[in-house]
Amino acid sequence: MSGSYSQRTGAEASGVLARVGGMRGWARASSIAAMALGALLPRSAAPQAQDAAPESPVELLRRAFDRRYGADTHQQMSLRLSSKGREVAHQQIEVVTMMEHGQLRALARFTAPPDLRDTALLVMEQEGRPDDYFLYLPALDKVRRVSGAQRSDSFMGTDLSYEDLERRRVEDFEDLRTRPERVGGEAALLVNARPRQAAGYERVEFAIAPGDATILETRYYTRGADAPFKRIQFPRASLHEEAGFSVPTRISVANLKRDSQTEVTVESLELNPNLDIRLFTTNALMREAALSSKRPAPGK
């Protein structure tokens, strides 16, 4: 069974289905996210008993990740990029994500603007080593691998990095500690953690509402810094709650060092669509681009 969320009109929704139909022509996908967007996937978690012993940082973080990451998804996203308070770009992206044997598979494809249309990213989660990233650039008609050293680079000019698009796992962090703070008007616990593998940050804080283990904010710090250089917010009012999962439909990414911001709005969301694993291959990156290039651009 799948659920859906949409901010689109009927005509716009039919456009979404028409695009998925292009993928479905060879893979039969019924309903594209990760950034990520790389971020975007949950597993149901039972509420804590009120008289239970206090959760350890590891238990709280695991419960929060289970709610955020786990469900297969199909999403249409709008990204607005601004610098020093002025909007500089508007992008649209389609994302599908799927779990295969406990590992994330994600395919993201730009649908606008024209100079980015059909640019696509494939993310293949790996056990015990950095995830694999494959980027399709239609101007070159080639698929290239994104190296591990590029994981902290900007994803297509946004304030998101490639590593922001990864699924978070408790096993990827160490030295976990918590402290209380109010975030978005509600009580939260900040879980401070350090990545076990080399990353574009020295430590990270996850702001989590302890009652339902909802992630409200993520803050990234460079070595020795007291203030974060990047902050990602997931407003409570924009969270889509379904079947024990908590998926954000609005994400605010601020690079505090550069004074730039990326606002992500999920315009349509379907949980647990009927996806075909053959979507998540390097061949599919080029094949779907070839199909979509024969269709008119959105709005034409």
The DSSP string of 180-214 is EEEETTEEEEEEEEEESS--S-SEEEEEEETTTTE
Look at residue 46 in the predicted model and tell me its pLDDT.
45
Separation in Å, CA 119 to CA 23, 37, 91, 114: 15, 14, 12, 10
Task: Count how many residues are written for the chain.
Answer: 300
Average pLDDT, the chain: 84
Which phi and psi (to 5°) does residue 13 adopt?
-60, -40
Residue that wins the pLDDT comparison between 3 and 120: 120
pLDDT at residue 18 above 50? Answer: no
Q: Where are the domains of the chain?
A: 3-292
Look at residue 9 in the predicted model and tell me its pLDDT.
40
* % pLDDT > 70, the chain: 79
Q: From CA 30, how far away is CA 105, in angstroms rounded?
A: 16
Look at residue 128 in the predicted model and tell me its pLDDT.
78
Residue that wins the pLDDT comparison between 24 and 105: 105
Residue that wins the pLDDT comparison between 146 and 287: 146
* Reported confidence tier of residue 41, pLDDT bands at 50, 70, 90: very low
pLDDT at residue 171 above 80? Answer: yes
Separation in Å, CA 277 to CA 98, 129, 169: 8, 22, 22
**Tens of pLDDT along 189-221?**
999 999 998 899 999 999 999 999 999 999 999
**Tens of pLDDT along 285-298?**
888 776 565 544 44
Q: And the tokens for 104? A: 């994330």
**Tens of pLDDT along 221-244?**
999 999 999 999 999 999 999 999
pTM over 0.85: no
* % pLDDT > 90, the chain: 67
pLDDT at residue 137 above 80? Answer: yes
The topology under which CATH files domain 3-292 is outer membrane lipoprotein receptor (LolB), chain A (2.50.20)
Look at residue 256 in the predicted model and tell me its pLDDT.
97
Look at residue 26 in the predicted model and tell me its pLDDT.
36
Separation in Å, CA 88 to CA 28, 85, 235, 265: 37, 9, 23, 16
Look at residue 37 in the predicted model and tell me its pLDDT.
43
Residue that wins the pLDDT comparison between 296 and 263: 263
